[in-house]
Amino acid sequence: MSDIAAPKLVHAPALRRALAGTLWRRFVILAGFALTWELYARWLDNALLLPTLRPTLSALWSAILSGELPNRAATSLRVSSPATHWGLPSRRC
């Protein structure tokens, strides 16, 4: 018989496994972007050039709820459909 033992599996601690997750990394990156945006907007102190994050998200939310943003996105997708790029007649809805 051989004297070589099978390697033992070492389990990483729960915190290390949680921090290695994709969802956690995405949250940290998004929070970093949000913090950078907010700090730079406050440093500029010019709402016309770069508004802070809260008014921007508020405007986005109200545009989505009013239906303006989804309608314009649908129009944009309809205009830039692959049929127009290939010279085919586009179908109007």
Q: What is the pLDDT of residues 22-71, one digit of tens each?
A: 888 889 999 999 999 999 999 999 999 999 999 999 999 999 999 999 99
Range of the domain at 18: 14-85
Domain membership flag for residue 64:
yes
Does any domain span residue 5? no
pLDDT of residue 51: 95
Q: Quote the pTM value.
A: 0.59
Judge whether 66 lies within some domain.
yes
Domains held by the chain: number: 1
In a domain? residue 51: yes
pLDDT of amino acid 70? 94
Query: Is the residue at 93 inside a domain?
Result: no
30 lies in some domain:
yes
Q: Cα dihedral angle (67, 69, 72, 78), rounded to 10 degrees?
A: -90
Predicted confidence (pLDDT) at residue 86 exceeds the cutoff of 70: no
In a domain, 29, yes or no: yes
What's the confidence (pLDDT) of residue 12?
67
H-helix or E-strand containing 82?
helix 82-85
